[in-house]
Amino acid sequence: MTSLERVRRAIQRQKFYATLPHKLDAEVGKVADVIDLELQRIKRRPQYTEELLGDTPLGGEMRLSHDFDDDDPEPPTAA
C-alpha cells in the first residue's frame, strides 16, 4: 500500500466517523416515526367483542373477541 493510499484511507475513515452520529440520529428518527405510525394504526383498528349471557362449563360469561386486520399489505412508512 502506498503512502498516498494510506492517506486517502485515513481521510475516508475520518469523514466516515465524523458523519456517522448524524446518520445514526437520522435513521433512529425514521424508525421512531414508523413505530409511532404503527401504534396509531393499531389504536384505530376496530375490535369486535360479543358477550353472551350464560355460563361456560368452567364458569363465567362467554365472550368472543376479534381484532380486525387491515387489508394494507404495506407497512407504514415515515414521510
Tell me the mean pLDDT in the region 4-30.
Answer: 95
Structural domain contains residue 40: yes
Query: How confident is residue 39, by pLDDT bands cut at 50, 70 and 90?
Result: confident
pTM score, whole prediction: 0.48
How far is Cα 30 from Cα 79, in angstroms, rounded to an integer? 9
Of 61 and 25, more confident: 25
67: left (phi over 0), alpha (psi -120 to 50) or beta: beta
Structural domain contains residue 22: yes
Structural domain contains residue 75: no
Structural domain contains residue 29: yes
Domain extent at residue 20: 3-67
Q: Is residue 47 scored above 80 in pLDDT?
A: no
How many domains is the chain partitioned into structurally? 1
**To which residue does cell 500500500 refer?**
1
Helices and strands (H and E) in the chain: how many: 1, 2
Q: Is residue 79 scored above 60 in pLDDT?
A: no
* Whole-number pLDDT of residue 40: 84
| Widest CA span in the chain | 85
